[in-house]
Chain A
Amino acid sequence: MTLMTILLVLLVLAGLWASMTTLLLRATIALALASAMLAVVMYTLGATIAAVLELSVCAGLISVVFVSVISLTQRKPFKDYVVRRASRLTRFWPLPLVLVAAGVALSFVHSPVQVALPVPGAEGDVRVVLWNLRQLDLFGQILILLAGVIGVLVLFKRESKDDN
């Protein structure tokens, strides 16, 4: 197991902790840890400037914003913690299993990848560039649109009893 694999496992584990923990303060700390891990991964891949910005802004500034909002809004007594944790576990227990299953399934994917380079003269035509050469960008845009759809779905979700 290489250093990069260990770092990526730690990154996913930090993200998993941020998702599953009951206390919002712990989730914020886990998110800062995930940012730090991502910064180390970026630095290892050679993206030093982006890594420094990720570490200072995402692990620092965003954590401060989250902690400020939590300190201004949290009024629930700590004795509710056990009840809320049990409620959360019923919704989040499949997540580690799903992640392990997805990881095992993805570890079998090894088909060769080829990326087309721009042919001379084709850069001027936006249709060729967008649809034939920059397919990875389109994939990213689809994912961002998916995140927007998820946000809209969450806003109009059905009612339930708790609000953890």
Chain B
Amino acid sequence: MTIDIPQSFWLYFAFFVLLLVDGAWCMLATYNLLRMLIGLEILMKSVTFFLIVAGYLGHRLALAQAMVITVIVIEVVVVVVAAGIILGFFRAHDSMNVRNTRNLKG
């Protein structure tokens, strides 16, 4: 048994892929740790958007919203912890350059 997904799926899918490429490029083309975190945020926004679209088109919006709320909470925790690590790293090395992470011991 199957259900047909409306053709508007491809519109949402196209913009999901565009956001995904944008976030991945932002992470790959930089050496700044904070900018990498911004790239990760864009990637998570694309995933959040696609979860809502999946719930909307599959008529399970409540389930999708529950998952998105979980994702947002985890996203905040990841950003706060990563920002703290970046701040500590900056105080130790006076730089936010990702190449300096090679100097870490342990």
> Which chain A residue shows the least CB distance to B75?
A58
In the assembled complex, the Cα of A82 lies from the Cα of B66 at a distance in Å of: 45
Once the chains bind, are A46 and B21 in contact (CB under 8 Å)? no
* Contact count A vs B, C-beta below 8 Å: 202
> Which chain A residue shows the least CB distance to B9?
A113
In the assembled complex, the Cα of A16 lies from the Cα of B97 at a distance in Å of: 22
Size of chain A's interface in residues, with CB distance under 8 A? 71
A12, CB-defined interface residue at 8 Å: yes
- If A140-B47, A140-B50, A151-B40 touch, does A54 touch B83 (CB 8 Å cutoff)? no
A110, CB-defined interface residue at 8 Å: yes
In the assembled complex, the Cα of A153 lies from the Cα of B26 at a distance in Å of: 13
| B residues at A contact (CB < 8 Å) | 1-5, 7, 9-15, 17-32, 34-43, 45, 47-56, 58, 61, 64-65, 68-69, 72-73, 75-76, 79-80, 83, 86-87, 90, 95-99, 101
